[in-house]
């Protein structure tokens, strides 16, 4: 089942001078079922706004988010790994995951499964403050996957993590995705990360953001390290092709 994002315009009104700022304009993206799509673009261009529109947290003018012919409104269709982990600090790891699902047999089993899958079992009764940043991201990912979403939204989930931690999270994500293929939309500032993980990279322009280039990733690597030579090659080609577009990206 393909996923079609069609947004005519999204503006925000500045509360100080009441001026309107266009953030997104004519966004038209078709994503194939089980495709891993990465979105890259300059800071503040509207990527998170797009995610929030897809996730139903904000509305845009004339927006259409269609999964074939059906509107995606059903509870559990989406999972969202926010830019910061957004774990509730007064709830334990397990309670944070439980928060978003019903308390029934199916979910109890699923929570146990995800805790084991993501190596979080021994930390399930820890509070977020007592675990590392990498683990908090894993919990956030587990929470996003608890309802078996068809589409997983990830807003810079690996930002500000050191490379080994980020790579261990890549492997958690990719291992899950290989076993349970779902559509993933990932926002990142790290082009190598996008090349490593994604099937496609969509490049956004400066604000108001629109799609300027849709790139199908060619590199297919065995491991999950961004220091791979194939990734470096594709990275260099893209940088050469779009020097101004990729200014400011890692």
Partner 1 sequence: MEKNNPNAVIRIASILIFFSLWQISSLYVEVDLLPGPNEVFNKIILEAEGNEIFYHTAITLKRVFLSFIIAMFIGTFFGIYMGRNSSLNNFLDDWLIMGLNVPALVIIILCYVWFGLNEVAAIVAVSLNKIPMVAVIMREGARSIEKDYVDVAKFYKISGSKFFLKVILPQLYPYLLSSARSGLSLIWKIVLVVELLGRSNGVGFKLFGFFQFFDISGILAYTLVFVLLIIFVEFILVRPFEKKISIWR
> Coil, helix or strand for 18?
coil
Check binding of 90 to partner 1 (CB under 8 A): yes
Site string for partner 1, 144-183 (x = CB under 8 A): ---x------------------------------------
Number of H helices, E strands in the chain: 7, 10
Q: Which of 21, 88, 108, 212 binds partner 1 (CB under 8 A)?
A: 88
Q: Which of 16, 18, 129, 247 binds partner 1 (CB under 8 A)?
A: 129
Do the beta carbons of residue 106 and residue 142 sit within 8 Å? no
* Closer of 92 and 228 to partner 1 (Cβ): 92
* CA–CA dist 68, 182 (Å, integer): 15
- Nearest CA to 10 among 28, 35, 27? 27
The structure tokens 């261990």 sit at: 168
- Nearest CA to 64 among 41, 40, 107, 30? 30
Q: Which of 1, 6, 35, 55 binds partner 1 (CB under 8 A)?
A: 55
Check binding of 12 to partner 1 (CB under 8 A): no
**Residues near partner 1, by CB under 8 A:** 55-57, 75, 78, 80, 82, 84, 86, 88-91, 95, 99-100, 127, 129, 147
């Amino acid at each position: 089942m393909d996923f079609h994002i069609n947004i005519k315009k999204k503006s925000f009104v500045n509360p100080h001078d009441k001026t309107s700022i266009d953030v997104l304009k004519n966004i038209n993206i078709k994503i194939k079922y089980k495709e891993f799509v990465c979105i890259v673009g300059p800071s503040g261009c509207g990527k998170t706004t797009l995610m929030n529109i897809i996730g139903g947290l904000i509305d845009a003018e004339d927006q259409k988010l269609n999964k074939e012919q059906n509107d995606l409104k059903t509870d559990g269709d989406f999972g969202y790994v926010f830019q910061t982990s957004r774990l509730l600090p007064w709830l334990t790891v397990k309670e944070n995951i439980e928060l978003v699902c019903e308390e029934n047999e199916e979910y109890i089993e699923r929570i146990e499964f995800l805790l084991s899958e993501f190596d979080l079992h021994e930390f399930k009764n820890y509070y977020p403050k007592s675990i590392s940043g990498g683990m908090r991201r894993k919990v956030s990912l587990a929470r996003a996957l608890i309802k078996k979403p068809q589409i997983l939204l990830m807003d810079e989930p690996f930002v500000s993590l050191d490379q080994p931690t980020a790579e261990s999270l890549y492997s958690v994500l990719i291992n899950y995705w290989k076993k349970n293929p779902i559509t993933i939309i990932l926002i990142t500032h790290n082009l190598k990360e996008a090349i490593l993980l994604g099937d496609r990279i969509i490049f956004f322009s400066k604000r108001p953001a629109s799609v300027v280039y849709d790139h199908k990733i060619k590199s297919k690597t065995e491991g999950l390290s961004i220091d791979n030579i194939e990734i470096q090659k594709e990275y260099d080609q893209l940088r050469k092709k779009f020097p101004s577009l990729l200014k400011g990206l890692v």
